[in-house]
Structure 1
């Protein structure tokens, strides 16, 4: 949908805001909307996109505020030096806290953020040199080239300029190779690691980025208020920041501004009008405010921004698509490719591999080999251990015994990311795609390790040439797999069979030597199966080895060079398809008996 005009209209409105004939109080409200939106933007990146829930962002606001307050108000250092100092303190603290916190999952992660948020809050209130709960006052105002920025109108411009800069950096970051890796974090660890994404590194990255934005807000807050105390940096404010992100649209960058504006404006108006209606006794505004937020979320569960953008799109022309380069980018000489092994050379050697889950042996002393250019089928009844075997080969699970060698190097015990780098690509039995993102973006994720630009280059928009190369490569694989007309379609809207083909295209983007396909023909129609078989034969002709798990016996028998049959975690038979087809043990165990 075409929301770009709506986005900039929203932002332009807030820049025009201070020039309107409004009471000074509204300028103050606008200042706080900007401050809160900076923190909410970090939470959109951390929680809405990265999937890491945090209730402790207010503590990082406090770190930024107290650092500049102490340096400028107590030590007499320039207020402008308080900004990098606050960012440094907050960044190092976030890196230290995040290295422990982001390893947690489920409800343990938000509980941990509550714990360290409370710890920092009580630290602010008990340290003598920070003024305990009385805080620090006498913070000097900001001045730039002799211009005094102490007036609310002047601070308004600085606050919204900082917010605009943060928006630009975050939007650039998300529209890049690093952004695809960040979006993949919410889907869990298995798929991103199999695509070469260092999930631990990217989780810490977004944790630190959210903390840095909160620290920037704290620096601006301290010089706007000219005093700081512990109260605004407690758990209640941390929850309120998260509410702002949720109300605006937890996964929407522009929802951070909308959520901050709605929450701040609504709270201000309730505090003004409710005492007139119900008297000054009791905090009625908190009750009414809570009820209104619940009703709002029931009415727009994805937040206000998706609802507003949907309404806007009904009378706006469609947005131009973010097209992949139709031809190779200027200076494109092709991304580096792996050298293919000699046809028939040993590629994968599985020697007595086993996997135990407690007392259950899911894989028991499995041994088989693949050579360059082989297409091998791994078949067996449900529960035979085929998917577990795939997970051992791709590094999702560590083996309990035996040895697995790839190109002569032992890979048993290596992680999924390292195994992918060596040249093993895979699809999944249960599709793992970014449902709301386009097919092009999903497939480009498979080329993650073929790019080198880091998050800083992405945020500063300096990796466009490399990004064009990666998107061009992804588009080539999409066309190769027969999905050209769906290149810009959200992957989640495709049929299941087409989603499986998207996974194959994504795996091919990593330039694998061995491709592991887990039930690739499930959900495909006859013509689609024939096209898939043609693609696999083409890959075989190029020297790629393919190991596939499949229950469609006609598809497997016509396509594979050799079959390996599993039953109860062990190898039941191995050989040419026509030999395995007539094996009495296989017929009894898997193909339905002699009848």
Structure 2
């Protein structure tokens, strides 16, 4: 981080602390109470932003996690006859926090281990199911007071300081909120944070880059549950009474509303959404009885209608709308950065894997067959690629080229046959294993994270070249490694001709540039085998020439390349060997000039190449 940015961050943090300390003395007592509720709700919503808005994993059960922690806190604070193994925690707020956090994370780990294996609409339905179950468990157990709840929670005392008043609780709650926001921002600005972002629409790509997506889902799920546990601890000491109703499915849906209204893709949206929902409900409860009479639950109905209107007008939330309107003003005052930050540029390079020996067999395929029911996509394919060699795979539409790539990278599993990578069979291995072994790939249909910068997208490819995890990222102990990863991304982007677009959103690039970005991302993995699926599609003539020069340099470095391409001029002028596929079978293989003269190839291409 640059000295200027560190100064601005410190100044912003100081201003936030001053506001938190001064605000409760300037606001009316009622407003302090309302803002305490906003802060607690914002903590839960922050977890939903991380889990759903950024990670793409929809959960309606976060309120139940708040309840687990709140009930654990209330039980330890009020029960006089605790079991001996829990007695030492009785009456201790720190013990209650530790117990609530541990119990919440334990339950979340068990539920996440089952629920996160679901996909599509089954995932949110699964969270609804266990959310309802936990709610009724709270109301059924006599030890938890049934639906009457637990009363008599004593005031909170920490470090000898009493937090009996709303004003003192305000400081504690909002300090926790600000620390949680800072921790989340630190996490997202890291290797681990990029892995979390790939969950939202890029899981096949993520696995191919070496990211363990299920582990990343579990980590994200547990982080969201941990934030809910902190909220439950604060809730118990703020209300000093715990009953099941605030932890119902309806409460879980309201937390989701807070995230959506605030902006589920923005960390600050958690506070904005929680504040908007709380104050809107307060306003409706005050105004509607005056207009419609005191009978009926009108505020709930009107609130629902207003949420629908708000979602139509601001589909990505208040934060997104405000950011888009302020963006031109901010850009007019601040010139766009032209390169990577100095702290990145000055970082030492990442270590590289040993280069393959000349003529080493990198890839060997024997009798590869892939069937989908009665459809044979690949049939009895055999070929090999050596270090420093470029093999082009061509063929008409539907020839099975992309299916072949998926099997080579272990995204898909062959029905029969064997694949050897550097002399070892890869049958039964995962895409992550292949990435770790030195295989990197691009995709026929570009797989990028469009709202992330070009630099961050490329850095995903270097994921396995780093090792810092979540807690190192949160505590900012990963900066040296992060600088190295980003420097590698910058180096490869400059190499492929995207050095002028480091800070642009990947989605703003032209299709051809996005394909080149995928190549840069693959190069960040320091591969010994590159699988390039239609790399020249969408490129202009000069860009194709630059790509050919780059692939020639990679060949000279000993990197093997297998590419699927439809531009015959590009292929024939670059490839060492060409393999032609038709209807899933190999019909020709050899030098470019031999393949061009092959009658079977000419027959397959009658009517035009794809």
**What's the TM-score once normalised by structure 1's chain length?**
0.96
- In the alignment, which residue of structure 1 is the partner of 2:594? 579
Kindly provide the CA deviation profile for residues 69-97 of structure 1, in whole angstroms up to 9, marking residues without a partner as x.
00111144312210011110011111111
2:391 equivalent in structure 1: 376
Deviations 1:525-567 (A, max 9, x none): 0000000000000000000010000000000000000011111
> How much has 1:320 moved relative to structure 2?
6.7
The yes-or-no answer on 1:18 pairing with 2:34 is: no
CA displacement 1:497-546 (0-9 Å, x = unmatched): 00000000000000100100000000000000000000000000000010
State the 1:13 CA deviation: 5.6
| SS in structure 2 of the partner of residue 315 of structure 1 | helix
**Residue matched to 2:236:** 222
Following superposition, the deviation at residue 103 of structure 1 comes to: 1.0
Once the two structures are overlaid, the 10-residue window that deviates more, 2-11 or 367-376, is: 2-11
Name the structure 2 match of 1:138: 152
Shift of 1:329: 6.0
The residue aligned with 2:302 is 288
Range with bigger deviation, 35-44 or 139-148: 139-148
Q: CA–CA distance in 2 between the matches of 1:291 and 1:15?
A: 37
Structure 2 counterpart SS, 1:354: strand
- Which residue is 1:37 aligned to? 42
Deviation digits for residues 83-119 of structure 1 (CA, Å, limit 9, x no counterpart): 0111100111111111111111110000000000001
Q: Offset at 1:309? A: 2.2
Sort the Cα spacing of 1:322 and 1:577 in 2 relative to 1 into closer, same or farther, 3 A. closer
Partner residue, 2:86: none
Quote the Cα distance in structure 2 between the aligned partners of 1:534 and 1:16.
Answer: 62
Structure 1 residue 311 displacement after superposition: 2.8
Looking at structure 2, the residues matched to 321 and 54 of structure 1 have their Cα atoms a distance apart, in angstroms, of: 37
For the Cα contact (< 8 Å) 1:327–1:472, is it kept in 2?
no
- Indicate which of 381, 395, 400 corresponds to 1:366: 381
For the residues of structure 2 that align with 1:95 and 1:24, how far apart are their CA atoms?
39
On the 8 A contact 1:396/1:416 being kept in 2, the answer is yes
- Counterpart for residue 590 of structure 1: 605
382-391 or 321-330, larger mean C-alpha shift:
321-330
1:336 Cα deviation after fit? 2.0
- Asked whether the 8 Å contact 1:325–1:472 carries over to 2, the reply is no
Residue of structure 1 aligned with 2:453, choices 421, 431, 438: 438
Q: 1:148 to 1:293 in 2, by over 3 A?
A: same
Hey, what does 2:266 align to over in structure 1? 252
1:112-511 to 2 correspondences below 5 Å: 112-316=126-330, 317-318=333-334, 321=337, 324-326=340-342, 332=348, 334-511=349-526
How far the C-alpha of 1:376 sits from its partner, in A, is: 0.6
| SS across alignment from 2:398 | coil
Q: Distance in 2 between matches of 1:278 and 1:111?
A: 36
SS at match of 1:186: coil
What is the alpha-carbon distance in structure 2 between the residues aligned to residue 77 and residue 264 of structure 1? 31
Q: Distance in 1 between matches of 2:91 and 2:365?
A: 65
The reply on whether 1:50 has 2:55 as its aligned counterpart is: yes
Distance of 2:374 and 2:528 partners within structure 1: 35
- Sort the Cα spacing of 1:137 and 1:507 in 2 relative to 1 into closer, same or farther, 3 A: same
Alignment correspondent of 1:535? 550
Q: Which residue in 2 is equivalent to 1:520?
A: 535
Alpha-carbon offset, residue 287 of structure 1: 1.4
1:487 deviates by 1.1
Gaps of 5+ in 2: 81-89
| 3-state DSSP of counterpart to 1:397 | coil
Deviation at 1:314, TM superposition (A): 3.9
Query: 2:573 is paired with a residue of what secondary structure?
Result: helix
CA distance in 2, matches of 1:454, 1:328: 19
* Pair 1:289–1:331, CA change in 2 (3 A): closer
Work out whether residues 459 and 486 of structure 2, in 8 Å CA contact, stay in contact via their aligned partners in 1. yes
Q: SS in structure 2 opposite 1:148?
A: strand
**Alpha-carbon spacing, 1:276–1:205, altered in 2? closer, same or farther (3 Å):** same
> Closer, same or farther in 2 for the Cα pair 1:364/1:484, shift >3 Å?
same
Q: Does the 8 Å contact 1:363/1:569 carry over to 2?
A: yes
**Contact 1:94–1:211 under 8 Å retained in 2:** yes
Matches of 2:572 and 2:341, distance apart in 1: 39
1:551-590 Cα deviation digits (max 9, x unpaired):
0000000000001111111111100000000000100002
CA–CA separation in structure 1 for the residues paired with 2:48 and 2:366 = 47
